[in-house]
Structure 1
Amino acid sequence: MRTSPFLIRSGTLALVGGLILGQPGAAMGFGLTGAASDYNLFLFENLYQRGGDVEGRAAVGGNASLTSVGIADRLPSSNGSDTHFVVGGDLTIQNSGIFGGNANVGGTVTGDVYFNNCQGCQVTSDDLIDFEAARNHYQNLSQTLFNLETTGTTSLNPHSKQLRFTGNNTGTNVFNVSLSEAREIFLDAPSSSDLVVINVTDETFAPNWFGSLFHEEANADSSKWQNVIWNFANATTIDFSFSWRGTVLAPNADISLRNGNIEGQVIANSARLDVWSGEFHNYEFTGTLPPSGSTPDDPSTPPLRREIPEPTMILGLLAVGAMGLVKRRNTLEQPQG
């Protein structure tokens, strides 16, 4: 059977296109991946919350206790096709509602689960999330970020105790700092940056007084912090007694929120909100993270973005493809003996 030159030509171009657009061994950077990627609040162990809400999806690996709490109240209704609240253990619930989606509970349910803005929503018991695997994934990610080389500068005003982060890189800005003396934070790094990593070295973070977090571009706009990830790699206890902006990655920490809101995704060991104040607001992380487990000093680390070959390399690939096409065509057109 004679092979169509069009098929040969198409295959050659597909091969060249594959080499150009998807080089073997190359890997693009990515946003927040893993089990927590779609969750406003993701905990490996327990949640205890009185009042307030979690605007997006919430997942709790252990037990959850809710009183007068709204879960996923800023999400559209899925009419029972999506799950907005996952509890690996037992759920104790009072005067609280799940908005727009199902609740998945691995253990027992004590109290009435109210579904709001959702026809056909229900409590299910499917095994949706492997929380131990997720814990391992985010601990590795936290260590990867902690190992990144510092690119920005920090300065602490001795009088006002304002801690200033300055980074002019539109790619990745990395800061390593203790927050123990800070009473106010000012971020001067472009919101158009691929990523802003603030590695916090403290094992505990519970200041007696803290002011506010400001951004150079727009102080009151929490969306300017969506490329920022606060990496509390060493922390075991975090006490937020004030509003916080940016995604919080604290895989080993038990966090409390005594006042204000966290304007970003939260990944932590456990959370406690017991003073009828404090909320988790659903600002999705939009930064470009390095692959978990890689470090910038490792020559085998894939690049954050897919590399496009130089024009000369592209011409070379096309030439090789053309030579193969001619050779194949000559072979096919030779008279058969």
Structure 2
Amino acid sequence: MDKRFVGNLVAIAVAGLVQHAAVAAPLTAGEVLGQFNAVIFGNLNSNSEIEGRTLVGGNLLGTGSTYATRTLPASGYAALTVGGNVVANGYVNVNGGGSAAVAGNVKYMNMNGGTAYIGGNVTGNVNGSKVTGASVTVPDFSQTMLDLAAQLQMLSANSSISVASNRATFNAAPDADGLAVFDITDSNFFNGIGEIAFNLNGARTVIVNVDLTSATIAENFLGGAATAVADKVLWNFSAATSLAFNAEFGGSVLAPQASVSNSISLDGTLIAASLTQRGELHQYSFTGTLPGLNAPPATVLRIDEPAGWALLGASAIAGLATRRRRRR
């Protein structure tokens, strides 16, 4: 076994005797969808709110934003994790006693009951408990979620979409396991409709594979469908590189290669390459069952700083050893 690896483990064990270390296990794709409200691999530019747990692989920008306003699902990960710097020009608020883990510097942050573990320095002000010079571990879920998107895209559709006038109705025909799969291949699909309705017909898991590279989505979900189906529907934009949401949208959005923007609320988990957020993300944890998939756990990037907190545990060990609910 590599001596440096052993040394890291010993250092972590010693640190654990004098200071609490959060332990986060590796996560499958389904667990990522269930535990996080947003996973953004690059930068997040926000002036809004994310109700649930958030991971930002790059920098957190904007004019100020708020996180963890709802009771979070159980997890070993912080309420807010940032792999780069928090450089928003207004305060970043972490609510509900949740912790924050930031690998870089922090400009402005309010900790409402939790602790901010900061790998770099405070360049402005942090209100509340903080530890600077911390050792912060940032999970990398990108390959896990890319693999999931590719695997879901291979599923055969068993359900149909009927379009009449301005409305697209998703008519689920679930299999014996409660799985309904839809496929959208028309590049003009979202341009040709203004309303979306769902007939779940007992479906417990709904996968919508969308074969588009870009889309502007501004459809109205009828009869409260956005929130009614939010925890069961997963929209798989596996090949998309640009998505804009200009109306309330229901269901988790898997868009691991896309730059996403939203001007109004999204109801469900968002997985994206980057996000410009101007509307809330509402916490509706995905409760569906991913069909026969066993996506690999997250690869973990460990960022070492002079001293302090380590969010490592089983997640980092796996990463070093192998490479790869409701709102209202």
Structure-2-length-normalised TM-score: 0.68
Q: CA separation in 2, counterparts of 1:220 and 1:242?
A: 13
Cross-structure match for 2:136 = 127
Equivalence for 2:215: 205
Q: 2:241 aligns with which of 224, 236, 239?
A: 236
- Measure the CA separation in 1 of the matches of 2:42 and 2:149: 18
Matched, 1:88 2:79: no
Q: Does residue 59 of structure 2 align to residue 63 of structure 1?
A: yes
Contact 1:102 1:123 in 2 (8 A): no
SS of 1:144 mapped into structure 2: helix
| Alignment correspondent of 2:259 | 254
2:267 counterpart (263, 266, 286): 263
Query: Which amino acid is the alignment partner of residue 268 of structure 2?
Result: G
CA distance, structure 2, for counterparts of residue 153 and residue 77 of structure 1: 33
Offset, 1:65 = 1.0
Higher strand share: 2
Partner of 1:115: 111
Structure 2 match to 1:106 = 103
The within-5 A match list for 1:18-167 is: 32-33=29-30, 35=32, 37-50=34-47, 52-75=48-71, 83-93=78-88, 94-99=90-95, 100-110=97-107, 112-118=108-114, 121-122=129-130, 125-131=134-140, 134-157=141-164, 159-160=165-166, 162-167=167-172
How far the C-alpha of 1:33 sits from its partner, in A, is 2.8
CA RMSD of aligned residues (A): 2.7
1:77–1:117: 8 Å Cα contact kept in structure 2?
A: no
Q: Is the 8 A contact 1:240 1:256 kept in 2?
A: yes
| Amino acid corresponding to residue 75 of structure 1 in structure 2 | T
Partners of 2:55 and 2:103 in 1: CA distance: 12
1:64-100 CA-to-partner distances (Å, cap 9, x unmatched) read 114231111113799xx96210000111131331112
Indicate the larger mover: 83-92 or 180-189. Answer: 180-189
The match for 1:168 among 173, 177, 193 is 173
Query: Residue 184 of structure 1 corresponds to which residue in structure 2?
Result: 195
Counterpart of 2:300?
Answer: none
Instruction: Give the TM-score taking structure 1 as reference length.
Output: 0.67
- Whole-Å separation in 1 of the counterparts to 2:203 and 2:144: 24
Structure 2 contact 52–72 (Cα < 8 Å) conserved: no
Bigger Rg over Cα: 1
Q: CA deviation at 1:36?
A: 5.3
2-structure distance, mates of 1:43, 1:245: 18
What letter corresponds to residue 40 of structure 1 in structure 2? N
5+ unaligned residues in a row in structure 1: which ranges? 1-29, 295-337
The one-letter code matched in structure 1 to 2:220 is S
Return the alpha-carbon distance in structure 1 between the equivalents of residues 34 and 73 of structure 2: 19
Deviation at residue 206 of structure 1 after TM alignment: 1.3
Q: Indicate the percent of aligned positions where both proteins have the same amino acid.
A: 28
CA shift at 1:223, angstroms?
4.1
Residue 183 of structure 1 and its aligned partner are, at CA, apart by 2.0
Aligned length: 247
Q: Please, which runs of 5 or more residues in structure 2 have no aligned partner?
A: 1-26, 116-127, 296-328
**Conserved 8 A contact 2:34-2:73:** no
How far apart, in 2, do the equivalents of 1:126 and 1:75 lie?
26
* SS in structure 1 at match of 2:212: coil
Structure 1 residues 182, 31: CA separation in 2 closer, same or farther (over 3 Å shift)? farther
Three-state SS of the structure 2 residue aligned to 1:169 is: coil
